[in-house]
Amino acid sequence: MTRDQGIAAAIHDEIERLILNGTWKPGQRIPTELELTARYDCARMTVHKALARLAERGLIVRRRRAGSFVAAPPAEQAVLTIGDFAEEAARTGQRYTHEILLRSEIPAPAGDFTTGEPLLLLHCLHRFDAVPAAWEERLIRIAAVPAVRTARFEREAPGTWLLRHVPWSQAEHEISAATAEAGVARRLNLRRGAALLCLRRRTWHGGGIVTDVRLSFPAERHRFTARFSATTEK
Amino acid sequence: MTRDQGIAAAIHDEIERLILNGTWKPGQRIPTELELTARYDCARMTVHKALARLAERGLIVRRRRAGSFVAAPPAEQAVLTIGDFAEEAARTGQRYTHEILLRSEIPAPAGDFTTGEPLLLLHCLHRFDAVPAAWEERLIRIAAVPAVRTARFEREAPGTWLLRHVPWSQAEHEISAATAEAGVARRLNLRRGAALLCLRRRTWHGGGIVTDVRLSFPAERHRFTARFSATTEK
DNA sequence: CCGCTTAAAATGTCTATACAATAAGTCTAG
DNA sequence: CTAGACTTATTGTATAGACATTTTAAGCGG
């Protein structure tokens, strides 16, 4: 991370280090741009760029006339990466397969969709090395992705297919736990009442909802992990 | 978001809009800095600043000599905000209380800590409106936060107290589901075998682990939600 | 047609300067 | 002592120019 070239990057990294190792504490005022300009013997714009980046990343807060201050540590945040199944399997050397168990066009129920609008309903079972790993129930608004009508989802699972067909969407995620009722338990090869880790994701594009998916994972076979660092390690 | 002042901000926002609404598609080449300089009738540095910001946010990819391209949409990511209990309760108008049920100094077991090092072990029950909402088991490395020895955790829960005493740490989160075994079930007033949503968080500062906490939530009373937008809505 | 060199296009960074915007501090009148 | 006006320190943004860096593309010799 410190291998970046450039004076501005060096200043940025050095100040970041001072903040992260506690030398400069939250609330403390840091030197002004002019002082840093002198210390590093460079142009003010160069210092400014370094500080602007630190401010954008939330490590410092800047106020005109008052100066720059080390920010208070943020409320705990976690950046979850919801991996693509195929990708995840590849990483762990497992074989991934999926199977569409239901495919049906239905009118939208009340809720997030415009009632009555045509939707595609899919049920899909995901397996890692032939063992059921996730159960997916998905609704897709056909008007948002007309091509979905002819998609067969044989090579790609619906989620992966959509990622390629709906660029730059927004999503809302909800993670919860539940106990398996009979239908899901049978699909996932669990006993009724087993704990499930559930992920619901609704995806939007250009103001309209695109898809609403619920994924259920056997508790002992899946977990979400996230590393959060103040420095948003890239 | 578009209320920012300035030419660079305006250019940034306009290009962002073109990408998000699909006018400029992933992979597509966007105009060069020089072309944009002409289009917006401003200095190259101004355009550069706008594009650099878009690149940092991951909406475009820039390659010298080749040009700038709309990036492929990222793998699904979700930014989870793990709210402070007290804060969360205040937001929903509930009354939050916590109770320390165990406090004990123990030598570190094998694992993430240096074996044998003195730790503080805490068990804590969190309640919303007197109803058990979360069960916390926490280890704190005393050497990392010596002040913890004298902290009483009467007004503040351990997590909140630590946030104030350990600035700018890093953390790793793990979310899973489980079924309640007897001890936890009793604390949370659940029947055995009920589904739990579990969060484990390990926090580091300056190279050393600070605390390792496991939180268990009754499945039907808690969920994590996260909104992800390409635009990292602040 | 291949591999090497060379030119050039595009982005990356820095400098120096100017002026704008904000808000903390200071002074003054009452 | 306080309200309001003024000063000024500090950050925010823009400009124009210079040079560095990277990598595609072109040209050329074999």
Percent of chain B scoring above 70 in pLDDT: 96
Nearest nt by C1' to A64 Cα: D11
Contact A83, A94 (CB under 8 A): no
Nearest nt by C1' to A6 Cα: C13
Q: Do B171 and A228 touch (CB under 8 A)?
A: yes
Cβ neighbours around B204 below 10 Å, total = 17
Q: What is the model's pLDDT at position A107?
A: 97
CA closest to A78 among chain B residues = B80
Residue of higher predicted confidence among A79 and B18: B18
Residue-wise pLDDT tens digits, B46-76: 999 999 999 999 999 999 999 999 999 887 7
Give me the residue from A77, A87, A177 closest to B81, CB to CB: A77
**Chain B residues near residue A26 by CB distance under 8 angstroms:** 167-168
B33 sits within 7 Å of strand C by its CB:
yes
SS3 B208: strand
B3 sits within 7 Å of strand D by its CB:
no
Q: Considering only residues 155 to 214 of chain A, which have any Cβ-Cβ distance to chain B shorter than 8 Å? A: 163, 167-179, 193-198, 201, 205-206
Give the mean model confidence (pLDDT) for residues B195-222. Answer: 93
* Alpha-carbon gap, residue A188 to B7, rounded angstroms: 55
Q: What is the model's pLDDT at position B4?
A: 65
Contact A205, A168 (CB under 8 A): yes
Q: What is the model's pLDDT at position A168?
A: 87
All structural domains of chain A, each given as residue ranges with its CATH number in brackets, are 7-70 (1.10.10.10), 85-221 (3.40.1410.10)
Nearest nt by C1' to B46 Cα: D14
Q: What is the model's pLDDT at position A3?
A: 52
Each residue's pLDDT, cut to its tens digit, for chain A (234 residues) gives 445 689 999 999 999 999 998 999 999 999 999 999 999 999 999 999 999 999 999 999 999 999 999 999 887 788 888 888 998 899 999 999 999 999 999 999 998 899 999 999 999 999 999 999 999 999 999 999 999 999 999 999 999 999 889 888 889 999 999 999 999 999 999 999 999 999 999 999 877 899 999 999 999 889 999 887 655 443
Interface A-B, measured as beta-carbon pairs within 8 A, has a size of: 187
Q: Which bases of chain C come closer than 7 Å to a protein CB?
A: 8-18, 21-24
Q: Do B193 and A196 touch (CB under 8 A)?
A: no
Give me the residue from B78, B179, B231 closest to A80, CB to CB: B78
**CA distances to B171, B195, B216 from A75, in Å:** 12, 27, 19
Contact B126, B139 (CB under 8 A): no
Q: Is the pLDDT of residue B3 over 60?
A: no
DSSP letter at A147 equals: G
CA closest to B217 among chain A residues = A177
Residue-wise pLDDT tens digits, B127-166: 999 999 999 999 999 999 999 999 999 999 999 999 889 8
**Chain B residues near residue A194 by CB distance under 8 angstroms:** 179
Cβ neighbours around A191 below 10 Å, total = 8
Q: Which residues pair with B194 in a beta bridge?
A: none
**Chain A residues near residue B87 by CB distance under 8 angstroms:** 75
Alpha helices by DSSP H, B93-207: 158-165, 182-188
* Alpha-carbon gap, residue B203 to B139, rounded angstroms: 11
Rounded CA–C1' distance between B65 and C7, in angstroms? 13
